[in-house]
Amino acid sequence: MTTETPSAARPVALLAGATGLVGQHCLRLLMQDPAVGTVRVLVRRPMVVDSPKVQVCVADFERLESHVDWLQADWVFCALGTTIAKAGSRAAFRQVDFDYPLQVAQLAKAQGAKRFLLVSATGADAKSKVFYSRVKGELEEAIAALGFESVTFARPSLLAGERDEVRIAERIGLKFGWLMPERYRPVQASQVAQGLVNAAKSARPGVHGISNIELRRLS
């Protein structure tokens, strides 16, 4: 893979989790944005992207330190995530939703990344009694402590969009989501992606969160 040095004029973006619901929309937005330079897509399996500005980087997420040249970027988007049911255990879930994102953040920061954008979740809280929310909150705290110039956590509730897999509980939630308080109503994956890209471009210093309500109001 040829590399491009990060540039303030045309930033290099790194995207981990490009095959997921939010990640797919992030990739589309970054590809279409003329202000963004190279887009490096970090994946576990090969994928085909019809764009000259996209570099597909197939990596072993258990040995990310061997791919540090691929993690040279200005902006880092992390949309990695799974469910406990799909992962098979709490330990496997934590590996995907905590270990991998944190390692991406650490290695990218060491390579000079300035901005980090993460798909977190409504209710993320390191002190939560709910395992899922606790893992998300612990990840937010760990990333916030790394010292990026700008960090943004998107905290969506139930994600709406076309999935390759069937999730019965999500389908029920989406069907009756309008009955929930606005904080918990479903949000389009495209809105979450738009919120992250907007945040990367605005580059507010410090650590910030985008609530589900704010995400739902994006066009």
* Residues annotated catalytic, as ranges: 132, 136
What is the C-alpha radius of gyration for the chain, rounded to an integer number of angstroms? 16
